[in-house]
């Protein structure tokens, strides 16, 4: 598929469509011909559907019956490397090609002809009369100077009527302009100068620039504690990439919180990059998609699906916080954006930078095996040093069951409050209490549709299922024994911790950071900004705060339950706890003041807790690697999760049994099948779930065997089979 294939009018070509068909369909090339990679519309029955010219037609049928391609879309054709990428990801994840094409065309209106439309941006005129709604419109436009909104999008974004916005046009407070639908992005200047780098930053930057400049494939782990300047360094690689005239992609996990990052890019290159994530408007999505395809966007920052944009000439992919679990897509196409970045780069001769303070064992192992290079940033930039870490042995604390903050931690927080410094109390659990139990009969309130207990959210005044999102009112009598007023919360969540903090530190200013407490990403950003400015004594937070926010005045981190993550049966439980605890501890002492991290634990002698305290990273990874090698699990063996689900438990169980009995294709490659067993969460949204687990040796042809295996068993219509290659979660 590498040569420029042109088909003259009437030639039979194969068109891959986004419809769930098992193969590309044959069509005649339209007037003027077409070429491989052209995006087209083709007739299918009475409809027109989106497709892509995939190659020569197969023929073998009455040619007079062949229909012609309706039209070629006015967008850049798919590049050969993108076509191979989709095919390879499809084969790796066992995803049918139409679903791959859907993933690669997730922008609205691609089939619409280019046209003008009205867009609304910030004007220079005075606001005639200030109202709350008008102020919000201005605030939103100031917040996103880079985005063009249509009237409807802006109204929805701000939460005002369209008349409010229209009413602000005559005075010039809001600018209404005709604009071609999809504008190029402002130019980023790769030659603008960056910060003066420290010695090890400069060394890393030189190595990465050379890798990018070579325009060949390579992957490098960029390892350094939070604050060591990884971002500063990989922006140098971006500069090199842009100077070469190639495109750069930066993947980030917490996309709602990227405004700080956008500002840094603007500071470095003089303009903001294109953004691609769920918070981006539909109009903007189409613009990004088209501009990435035509070369009108030099740099994209985005969530994992930004990897499937139609880059013209991709030269660099940065995966920031590469260990983050959100890079694995857990619905639809089950891919890992970190791993697929490496594949994509290898197909288009690009550089991959995997940045992390706490790399995944997968990446660690690839470095050991010599597949990835490694660069280290030794210390934090400037005077900051890693915090001092200590365990608080909760067995000696004798707290009542309704209390979660030990006396030692209280004393440490008080010291900080008196000195005017900030403390962070971390608990990785949203809501008020994870379990509500009846003190009379022991009944626990569970979700009606899932095999999960409901979590009390006092802030919302409801019980919520964290599996399906279903909520219900907190009952006053026990649903089981009808006892009145005996329902009690058990265990802590972030809201309950907040209650205790307010009681213990009545004069302190307290802020709670938990994703579900904020109506919008903007409100959350505001709160983070306030905290960073030092306007809070005690921050109470969930996992959200473990990510890269910079709180310069924070000198103490208290981890409420360091054991929480160690309880699961997940093969990565130790790894995740290690990463999370180190990330959280890294929040302390980012400026001049040395920080302290105190971890409350009931098992201070647990090897993972000990490794965290000792700061012995290499030791931890070596031990962890040994254990996984012995068990033959990733990254030293391969795994696939099989999930069967459906409304009828009998059907699901029978289908799973059939699969378990017919494992010939798997036996042939020496793979082992475990299960079937009810999934840890055996019912979600009313569907029963049964799991099997397949384990194979590292080099076994697993996908091939899995597809032959699945094809050998007839599933009842109401049972769905999902295959998860390299599973990250086992729920």
Chain positions contacting Zn ion, by CB under 5 A:
447, 449-450, 465, 467-468, 470
Helix (H, G, I), strand (E, B) or coil at 327: helix
Instruction: Specify the stretch interacting with ligand ADP by CB under 6 A; choose among 221-229, 416-424, 445-453, 461-469.
Output: 221-229
Q: Please identify which residue in 110, 164, 169, 197 interacts with ligand ADP, judged by CB under 6 A.
A: 197
699 binds, among ligand ADP, Zn ion, none (CB under 5 to 8 A by kind): none
224 binds ligand ADP (CB under 6 A): yes
Residues 550 and 263 sit within 8 Å (Cβ to Cβ): no
583 binds ligand ADP (CB under 6 A): no
119 binds, among ligand ADP, Zn ion, none (CB under 5 to 8 A by kind): none
231 binds ligand ADP (CB under 6 A): yes
Beta carbons within 8 Å of 191's beta carbon, 6+ residues apart: 239, 243
226 binds ligand ADP (CB under 6 A): yes
In angstroms, the CA 203 to CA 508 distance is 44
CB nearer to ligand ADP: give 114 or 383.
Answer: 383
In angstroms, the CA 551 to CA 587 distance is 7
Pairing of strands 274-276, 299-302: parallel
H runs (alpha helix) in 198-315 = 199-213, 230-243, 259-269, 282-294
Strand partners, 672: 695
Q: How far is the CB of 582 from ligand ADP (least distance, A)?
A: 13
Instruction: Provide the b/e sequence for 443-470 (b: ≥16 CB within 10 Å).
Output: bebbbeebbbbbbbbbbeebbbbbbbeb
CB nearer to Zn ion: give 449 or 668.
Answer: 449
97-104 and 80-93 helices cross at what angle (nearest 10)?
130
Residues 263 and 89 sit within 8 Å (Cβ to Cβ): no
Q: How far is the CB of 462 from Zn ion (least distance, A)?
A: 13
Pairing of strands 247-251, 314-320: parallel
Q: How far is the CB of 383 from ligand ADP (least distance, A)?
A: 11
Q: Please identify which residue in 232, 339, 456, 726 interacts with ligand ADP, judged by CB under 6 A.
A: 232
Q: How far is the CB of 88 from ligand ADP (least distance, A)?
A: 31
450 binds, among Zn ion, ligand ADP, none (CB under 5 to 8 A by kind): Zn ion
Q: How far is the CB of 481 from ligand ADP (least distance, A)?
A: 53
Neighbours of 66 (CB within 10 A): 16
CB nearer to ligand ADP: give 290 or 549.
Answer: 549
CB nearer to ligand ADP: give 230 or 593.
Answer: 230
228 binds ligand ADP (CB under 6 A): yes
Q: How far is the CB of 384 from ligand ADP (least distance, A)?
A: 9
470 binds, among ligand ADP, Zn ion, none (CB under 5 to 8 A by kind): Zn ion
447 binds, among Zn ion, ligand ADP, none (CB under 5 to 8 A by kind): Zn ion
Handedness of CA 716, 718, 723, 729 (dihedral sign): negative
Beta carbons within 8 Å of 339's beta carbon, 6+ residues apart: 362, 726
CB nearer to ligand ADP: give 101 or 235.
Answer: 235
CB nearer to Zn ion: give 200 or 456.
Answer: 456
* Token pair belonging to 616: 């012995």
Ramachandran quadrant class, 547 (left: phi over 0; alpha: psi -120 to 50; beta: rest): beta
621 binds, among Zn ion, ligand ADP, none (CB under 5 to 8 A by kind): none
329 binds ligand ADP (CB under 6 A): no
CB nearer to ligand ADP: give 198 or 536.
Answer: 198
Q: How far is the CB of 169 from ligand ADP (least distance, A)?
A: 39
Q: Please identify which residue in 18, 198, 423, 663 interacts with ligand ADP, judged by CB under 6 A.
A: 198
Neighbours of 163 (CB within 10 A): 11
Instruction: Specify the stretch interacting with ligand ADP by CB under 6 A; choose among 14-22, 160-168, 220-228, 490-498.
Output: 220-228
Helix (H, G, I), strand (E, B) or coil at 140: helix
Count of helices and strands (H, E) across the chain = 20, 31
Q: Please identify which residue in 51, 57, 98, 227 interacts with ligand ADP, judged by CB under 6 A.
A: 227
Q: CA 149, 150, 152 angle in degrees (round to 5)?
A: 115
Which helix (H) or strand (E) is 674 found in, with range? strand 672-684
In angstroms, the CA 125 to CA 102 distance is 43
Residues 10 and 37 sit within 8 Å (Cβ to Cβ): no
Q: How far is the CB of 218 from Zn ion (least distance, A)?
A: 45
Total residues at interface with ligand ADP (CB under 6 A): 15
- Residue 374 is given by DSSP the state E
Binding mask 367-406 for ligand ADP (x = CB under 6 A): --------------x-------------------------
Q: Which residue has the tokens 């365990």?
A: 391
Residues 686 and 449 sit within 8 Å (Cβ to Cβ): yes
* Token pair belonging to 594: 């040395």
68 binds ligand ADP (CB under 6 A): no
CB nearer to Zn ion: give 111 or 468.
Answer: 468
Instruction: Specify the stretch interacting with ligand ADP by CB under 6 A; choose among 23-31, 112-120, 219-227, 489-497.
Output: 219-227
Beta carbons within 8 Å of 39's beta carbon, 6+ residues apart: 50, 51, 52, 72, 73, 75, 77, 78, 105, 110
Closest of 87, 99, 104 to residue 343, by C-alpha = 87
CB nearer to ligand ADP: give 229 or 310.
Answer: 229
465 binds, among ligand ADP, Zn ion, none (CB under 5 to 8 A by kind): Zn ion
Q: Which of residues 535-554 bind ligand ADP (CB under 6 A)?
A: 548
254 binds ligand ADP (CB under 6 A): no
CB nearer to ligand ADP: give 102 or 587.
Answer: 587
Q: CA 184, 186, 187 angle in degrees (round to 5)?
A: 110
* Token pair belonging to 501: 């903090």
Residues near ligand ADP (CB under 6 A) are: 195-198, 201, 224, 226-232, 381, 548
């Amino acid at each position: 598929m590498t040569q420029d294939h042109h088909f003259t009018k009437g030639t039979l070509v194969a068109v891959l469509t986004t419809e769930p068909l098992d193969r590309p369909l044959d069509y005649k090339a339209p007037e003027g011909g077409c070429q491989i990679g052209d995006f087209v519309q083709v007739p299918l029955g009475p409809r027109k559907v989106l497709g892509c010219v995939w190659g020569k037609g197969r023929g073998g049928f009455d040619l007079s019956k062949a229909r012609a391609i309706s039209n070629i879309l006015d967008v850049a054709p798919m590049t050969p490397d993108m076509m191979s990428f989709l095919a390879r990801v499809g084969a790796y994840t066992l995803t049918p090609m139409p679903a791959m094409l859907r993933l690669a065309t997730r922008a609205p209106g691609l089939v619409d002809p280019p046209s003008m439309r009205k867009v609304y941006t910030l004007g220079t005129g005075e606001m005639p009369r200030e109202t709350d709604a008008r102020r919000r419109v201005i605030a939103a436009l100031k917040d996103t100077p880079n985005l063009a909104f249509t009237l409807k999008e802006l109204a929805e974004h701000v939460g005002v009527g369209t008349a409010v916005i229209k009413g602000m046009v005559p005075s010039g407070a809001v600018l209404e302009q005709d604009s071609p639908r999809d504008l190029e992005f402002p130019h980023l200047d790769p030659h603008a100068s960056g910060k003066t780098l420290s010695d090890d930053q400069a060394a890393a930057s030189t190595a990465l620039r050379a890798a990018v400049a070579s325009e060949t494939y390579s992957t490098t782990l960029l390892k350094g504690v939070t604050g060591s300047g990884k971002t500063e360094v990989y922006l140098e690689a971006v500069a090199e990439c842009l100077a070469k005239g190639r495109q750069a992609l930066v993947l980030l996990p917490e996309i709602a919180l990227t405004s700080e990052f956008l500002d840094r890019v603007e500071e470095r290159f003089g303009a903001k990059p294109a953004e691609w994530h769920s918070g981006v408007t539909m109009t903007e999505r189409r613009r990004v998609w088209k501009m990435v395809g035509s070369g009108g966007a030099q740099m994209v920052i985005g969530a994992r699906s930004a990897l499937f944009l139609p880059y013209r000439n991709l030269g660099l992919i940065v995966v920031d916080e590469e260990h983050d679990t959100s890079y694995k897509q857990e619905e639809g196409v089950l891919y890992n954006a970190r791993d697929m970045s490496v594949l994509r780069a290898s197909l288009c001769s690009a550089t991959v930078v995997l940045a992390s303070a706490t790399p995944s064992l997968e990446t660690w192992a690839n470095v050991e095996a010599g597949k990835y290079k490694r660069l280290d940033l030794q210390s934090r930039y400037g005077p900051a040093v890693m915090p001092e870490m200590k365990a608080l042995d909760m067995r000696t604390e004798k707290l009542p069951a309704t209390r979660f903050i030990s006396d030692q931690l209280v004393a440490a927080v008080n010291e900080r409050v008196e000195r005017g410094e900030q403390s962070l109390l971390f608990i990785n659990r949203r809501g008020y209490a994870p379990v509500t139990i009846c003190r009379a009969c022991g009944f626990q309130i569970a979700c009606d549709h899932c095999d999960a207990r409901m979590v009390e959210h006092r802030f919302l005044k409801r019980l919520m299922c964290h599996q399906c999102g279903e909520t219900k009112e907190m009952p006053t009598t026990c649903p089981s024994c009808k006892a009145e007023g005996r329902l009690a919360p058990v265990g802590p969540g972030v809201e309950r911790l907040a209650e205790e903090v307010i009681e213990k530190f009545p004069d302190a200013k307290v802020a709670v950071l938990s994703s579900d407490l904020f109506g919008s990403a903007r409100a959350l950003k505001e709160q983070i900004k306030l905290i960073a400015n030092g306007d809070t004594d005690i921050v109470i937070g969930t996992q959200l705060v473990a990510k890269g926010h910079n709180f310069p005045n924070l000198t103490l981190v208290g981890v409420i339950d360091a054991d929480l993550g160690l309880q699961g049966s997940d093969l990565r439980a130790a790894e995740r706890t290690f990463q999370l605890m180190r990330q959280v501890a890294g929040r302390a002492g980012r400026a001049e003041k040395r920080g302290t991290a105190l971890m409350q634990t009931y098992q201070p002698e647990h090897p993972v807790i000990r490794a965290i305290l000792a700061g012995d990273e290499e030791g931890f990874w070596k031990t962890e690697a040994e254990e996984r090698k012995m068990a033959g699990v990733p990254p030293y063996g391969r795994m696939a999760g099989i999930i069967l689900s459906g409304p009828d438990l009998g059907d699901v169980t029978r289908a799973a049994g059939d699969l378990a009995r017919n494992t010939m294709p798997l036996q042939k490659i020496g793979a082992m099948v475990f299960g079937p067993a009810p999934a840890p969460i055996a019912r979600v949204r009313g569907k029963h779930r049964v799991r099997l687990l397949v384990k194979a040796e590292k080099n076994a042809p697993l996908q091939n065997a899995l597809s032959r295996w699945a094809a050998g068993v007839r599933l009842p219509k109401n049972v769905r089979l999902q295959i998860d290659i390299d599973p990250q979660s086992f729920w």
